[in-house]
Structure 1
């Protein structure tokens, strides 16, 4: 903290970005400021709400970078967030991606749906609300325009040619002009030209009817109905056909909700809702969000963007490099206001969920830290062993970040140096392997280590963590009762029980961690043991070498599937009947996997 106080006195009164770091030197927050001196000092003076206080409580150091303008600071902030992915910043890293319809740029183009936007010269249309909407539209276009369907050219015509949905360039000459005409027609159709297509089909339908070709007239009528059912589901919002995104936001209690309406060809086809805590002025964090939004590959920039009045329009335009509009009247203004009302409603709805989630996660961690008299453990790593009478010993580690499972950091271990059912030795080996590697690679250490077990497991862990590796990290044991339920938390040498109320959030957190690490370890052990038993049966059978063993494992996957197979099933992978009969006999004699 002395270092921070010294740095605060020499902060410049210029625009720039600042990077807040925790005790491990990890960047946990990136911000921008018109005046660095005022903004950075504000974190360490006065009172703050809970979320800001949690951020400040983790800050051990900071750096800053001076820029020549506010716009430069905004762009630099976006790039730094992308580089460091700080946990307290807005990270648009959800799994949500939108489907598009794509016309490939090939000699004989194809019409496909995709969620990835590439700079490959192809034409992209969308985004669509969901895969179903995109696929329905594609099916409609397939009926109307017989473009190539196969990814690789076959050597003869396929079913699509016979049902009139492909011109079969694999066998017949299809001119470049014909392909370009279809591309132009599809582009026109998807850019709100489907009304003209309907009129053309209606004329053809009446002509076919006048010629008494009623079957053809019925086909055309069905196509018109299909266009109506697929293309007319969305309410028209704006009469023009400009592609635009409409942004609005609402703030309350230190949280922001941004609502985005996607308008394509005059229709609102989808919306995006993001709720997150903000730490700067709302207008500044909104601009940061706006810039980050289009860093995602699946968010293509439209022709123009609508934003609410009060945001720096010029800076937004320079940031996005497209037309930015702040509607002041009429239907366009109503759309921005509608997005704002939706944002306010979504924020209100999420508050109850956020508060309930915080009670189970962040506040539970705070309560646990208070009971253990340690710093708040943002990162908790927990270990458990699994074996049956010493066979196939394995261990597992799960990671919880701010009270939530962080599955990307889960780890599995096969115990190598221990023979027989020695739980303490297994715990020592796995913990030694884990933290020797972290120390060697200078990676951040956890704030709390939990081991599944009582005094013995805790003592084994401490002997490695403190005595061998010299780490200064709190370690505790999660003891169970006779019914294998979480009973108590023990800590120290000699171990002492940490007083936790059974109905407290911190005790429920421990139960979730213990259940999760046990589940992860048991699942890994079953997988390992099943493979071992499977391999051992195969090893004893004459005529089954390494090549056939791999083929059997790949084809059947488990002993259960193989037991239920017949001799004919083995013939499918070229196993002789004599070998397969002997294999089935051995499998019936082998004990069933548990």
Structure 2
């Protein structure tokens, strides 16, 4: 909380001054929840606490949270608007309009050094040089940079080309010199004065003053032709043509048109979308659309004003004229918006509106895709396997054993196409001796669904068995014993060819190898395999540690497991004191263990 600002309680709102300024609302935790601007602080803040004002439900909820009010008095409503924008951008209060745009933008920097360089960056360090931008996209920035490097011989190396180092022959020319892209200032082949001529013209292009750069090439072309240097004149003509071609491609209206900022807004119940076009010398030099999330049912005019201030500040616009698609009444003094009715300016507003509408449409499509993606895959799986119900609940079983040691199984569960890890289960194989995958599969499937029937919990819509026809038949036998076969669809996925089998079918089900439904089954199978292998590996590790203890005479499996559970590793048991061993397993066993480990 800013202790230097005047502070008031909600009941003291009538004490606020009749002056323009910014007000800030804080909750009981001292957190800033809303920032607003006002032509008259007393009237504006008072309107929130007037029960007859007809404010909406969201605003009432905010008002109930207000514990403290702070204000800052400014000279004009326009100053209040700028301060409000900066405070919202810095604090992002809960009830203010949320501008969804947190990306960093690229700039082109012209460095402060001997033989200046021009290169792209996203970090603005003012002492390093002059920054041009930000550009709304990397592509737009690269187009300008490529044009500059095509027109002028500007170095791209990072050498410190101070006069002393050049005079001392510290450097050698690189490939760029031999390609004609650089005139070799590093070896003194170009002086700094002539180099800076190119830099000044490049600066004009970065500022959008293409007319100055065109005049430069035209004058040089005519001068070269007058001195009968036709080769040089042709070179300047090519660069002039390149510049004119670039300008013609960017031109949308008369090149003599002053700088313009164009904004258009479209909105729905929850969001607004504002497009910004920056026009310079008749060309679009920037296009950007932002999304604003409504918090207190703000009007389009308020949202547009917020976006205009934010975007003009972010992209450092100095355009005198601002074109919009909606009338904004009661604008702060110093701001003028125009809603053009005819001509080129009207077409620019329509173009900006078209961009905003396109962004809104794309967002709606994307939201619909994300919402339906989950069901789309499950619907496809239901169709591919001819299932009666949508497979929202899928369970998959896998066995794991190596030469019969520690035979285990796993069951993984997917809900709505996503892993439900709390429902995963591990199984120690109890009734099978040796590496018998078929009998092991029958045991775990029977155990799983016998328990579900006893507990009355929900059965899956689909069972997947990791294995071929043998494992599938074993799982079916378990379901028959429980009178569940035919009530739950069950399939097997064979490892070798990734084929799907139904019980009793000679041939696999045809599913497109690239289909999302097959990928979902494979993902579930891979997860079951991973879960089983992890469990098996842990058991083998514990078994190996246990064997180091059970070979000691008088120490059995239960004592070994007790020690490992307490000390976590054999290394910790080795470093344990005799007293701690006695406390855990008794004096007799402790002596045997200690003597064996420390002979």
Give TM-score scaled by structure 2 length.
0.49
Give TM-score scaled by structure 1 length.
0.49
Greater radius of gyration (CA): 2
